[in-house]
Structure 1
Amino acid sequence: MLRRLLPDNFLLMLVGTVLLATFLPAQGGFAVVVGWLSTATVVALFFFHGAKLPREQVVAGLMHWRLHLTILLSTFVFFPLLGLAGMKAFPTLLPPDLWTGILFVCALPSTVQSAIAFVSMARGNVPAAIASASASQMLGIVLTPMLMGLLAGSHGGAGGIEGIGKVALQIFVPFMAGHLLRPWIAGFVNRNKQIIGYTDRSTILIAVYGAFSAAVLEGLWHKLPPISFALLFVVDGVLLAIALTGTWAAGRALGFDREDRIAIQFCGTKKSLVQGVPMAKVLFPGPAAGVILLPLMLFHQMQLMACAFIARRYATKLEQEEKAAQPA
């Protein structure tokens, strides 16, 4: 259990990247190279995401439409409304860019790998989790920039049509190209899963380095006092707690069984760092992206720790119930 609650190696790499950008930010010609490299890795990332997604997985998942609709409403309606309500109720609690970062977290799609892993660990409805998480990732390519245009267009960044256009060129087009080419390149992708898997992490690290470099050069650490980080921790924690409690209560109120409620809770509350960082690079060019990414990076680790604890608790409780039901 302790191991699941500790930061993973990738989180440590993220922290190291932020420190590198703090002390050795990319400047001048090197910053231009980092920007081009970041764009290239974003295109490659979503091309391979499209190539890896089996079409039959999504089609099969549509059979359980009530469950998937509940998860998607949690991801793209409940979460954004929750973030917007928090910003409207406490507008001065966080600086504007951090509130934009909170809204960005709320607008992001679900993860695939970790959501499915936690549903499996908790012994929930894994096939439904696979279908819902996959659908969420596909829809997020279009819905996330649209939501940001509606929620945070006045707070900076590329909202509305401009944001959708950039996402189409750098994310949606590569994704669809990879998916359409899947019949011909699926074998190559499956044989090289480990190598292609490095694309996810390298894309995030390069994008984080570029974004934080620009933010540091603009005086990021002087503009954000320690109290802002403390308050951000509280806001992220409250957001996650309400989401986890609300999705479980909604699943119960709608009459879903235990396995489906687990899928709703984990798939409906997880937010994708893998898609979030590249999208932030596209939607929020310039130094603002570094600040806007802070809520997501913190939320990512908090959701891993909380969901690991909850999933293990569900599994333990079920094991105890099964053991108690066995004849003596």
Structure 2
Amino acid sequence: MLSRIDPMVRLLALAIVLATLLPATGAGRDAAQLVSNMAVFLLFFLNGMRLSRTEVARGIGNWRFLAVLAAWSFLVLALVGLGVSRLMAPMLPPLVTLGFLYLGTLPTTVQSATAYTSMAGGNVAIAVVAAALLNIMGVFVSVPLFTVLGGGAEAQLGASGLTKIVMILILPFALGQLLQAKGGKFVTDNPVLVRWMDRTAIAIAVYVAFSGAVEQGIWCLLDAGSWGWLLAGLTGMLIIAYGGAWLVGGALRLEKPDRIAFLFGGAHKSVAMGAPLALVLFPASSAGLILVPLLIYHLLQLVVSAPLANRLNPAGQ
């Protein structure tokens, strides 16, 4: 039964349990933060090697699909996140409600959005390119968007924060692109190893962030009623994200394969981008609480996507 659970979900659960039992605090947190920064650097370096410049150019050519998907993912869902955060404000701690807004400003996933697009019989090529490009955009768009809509709350966006973004996220991706000719074959020939390196980097970032949440007393701050409100808010976001993305794809008169790619690309949110970015933007004591909505949304989007993909592509069952 355990083997049927998505490996990323299992790693995230392990990171949360480990952070609950053995949180990184004090000097240990500084060491864990350093390890996390190194792992995130490697994650974005591998992403730079993985996405060929030819694919980027070809994907940019489908500007109509990409422009609307970007507007939906960043602008519309950011406003939805803002609305949900304000609705949940009386029921949840401030940092957790801020997490709804943070969730809304993030780009789509790469791996799961494309995997479910494939399962549903969608256009995998455009899904891969669109997801990758939106993640590149996310480094530049998510931060200022969150700052504008959230009033800069909790975010450390001074010169130090911008330097971290450049050094830990943008620089390694650029290096990966530059060294693609030399190292691209390694990424192509070792997909399983690279995938697990990705997952491990994300899990480390979640562990460090959630350690801060444990230190702040997350299990005392959120009682059964609070968890109920949290799930209610996330359920509302899921309905809007999936239903809206499908309707927008129909309004664009996309062919079914492209509409399926738009659906999963427009509804999914990336913990691979969200967890590392949170550690750059927020103090460790705040990042874990802000990440709570994203972590649960990530789990729920996988639960929703599997039966939905089978329904869209009965032949693939």
Which residue is equivalent to 2:47?
49
Which residue is equivalent to 1:302?
300
Segments of 4+ in structure 1 off by > 6 A?
Answer: none
State the Cα deviation string for residues 44-65 of structure 1 (Å, max 9, x = none).
1111111111111111122322
Q: Does the 8 Å contact 2:92/2:222 carry over to 1?
A: no
Given the two structures, how large is their TM-score scaled by the length of structure 2? 0.92
Report the RMSD for the aligned CA atoms in angstroms.
Answer: 2.2
Q: How does 1:61-76 map to 2 (within 5 A)?
A: 61-76=59-74
Q: Does the 8 Å contact 1:97/1:292 carry over to 2?
A: yes
What residue identity is the alignment partner of 1:80?
A: A
Q: Does the 8 Å contact 1:103/1:152 carry over to 2?
A: yes
Residue 17 of structure 1 deviates from its aligned partner by: 2.0
Q: Does the 8 Å contact 2:88/2:229 carry over to 1?
A: no
Q: In 2 relative to 1, CA 155–111 (structure 1 residues): closer, same or farther, beyond 3 Å?
A: same
Larger radius of gyration: 1
Q: Does the 8 Å contact 2:249/2:262 carry over to 1?
A: yes
More moved, 10-19 vs 129-138: 10-19
Which residue is equivalent to 2:143?
145
Residue 67 of structure 1 deviates from its aligned partner by: 1.3
**How many angstroms apart in 1 are the aligned matches of 2:316 and 2:217?**
52
State the Cα deviation string for residues 251-293 of structure 1 (Å, max 9, x = none).
2122222222111111111111111111111111221111111
Q: Percent identity?
A: 36
Residue 306 of structure 1 deviates from its aligned partner by: 0.9
Secondary structure at 1:100's aligned position in 2?
Answer: helix
Secondary structure at 1:287's aligned position in 2?
Answer: helix
Which residue is equivalent to 2:99?
101
Instruction: Choose which of 159, 166, 174 in structure 2 pairs with 1:176.
Output: 174
Which residue is equivalent to 2:163?
165
**How many angstroms apart in 2 are the aligned matches of 1:104 and 1:135?**
19
Given the two structures, how large is their TM-score scaled by the length of structure 1? 0.89
Which residue is equivalent to 1:249?
247
Q: Does the 8 Å contact 2:77/2:241 carry over to 1?
A: yes
More moved, 306-315 vs 248-257: 248-257
Instruction: Choose which of 249, 265, 268 in structure 1 pairs with 2:266.
Output: 268
Q: In 2 relative to 1, CA 252–188 (structure 1 residues): closer, same or farther, beyond 3 Å?
A: closer
Q: Does the 8 Å contact 1:38/1:206 carry over to 2?
A: yes
Q: How many residues align?
A: 317
Q: Does the 8 Å contact 1:97/1:155 carry over to 2?
A: no
Secondary structure at 1:26's aligned position in 2?
Answer: coil
Instruction: Choose which of 27, 30, 33 in structure 2 pairs with 1:29.
Output: 27
**How many angstroms apart in 2 are the aligned matches of 1:157 and 1:142?**
15
Q: In 2 relative to 1, CA 207–3 (structure 1 residues): closer, same or farther, beyond 3 Å?
A: closer
Q: In 2 relative to 1, CA 33–160 (structure 1 residues): closer, same or farther, beyond 3 Å?
A: closer
**How many angstroms apart in 1 are the aligned matches of 2:146 and 2:290?**
12
Which residue is equivalent to 1:324?
none
What residue identity is the alignment partner of 1:105?
A: L
**How many angstroms apart in 2 are the aligned matches of 1:45 and 1:178?**
10
Instruction: Choose which of 221, 224, 239 in structure 2 pairs with 1:223.
Output: 221
Which residue is equivalent to 1:210?
208
Q: Does the 8 Å contact 1:148/1:159 carry over to 2?
A: no
Q: Does the 8 Å contact 2:93/2:221 carry over to 1?
A: no
| Structure 1 alignment gaps of length 5 or more | 321-328
**How many angstroms apart in 1 are the aligned matches of 2:287 and 2:122?**
36
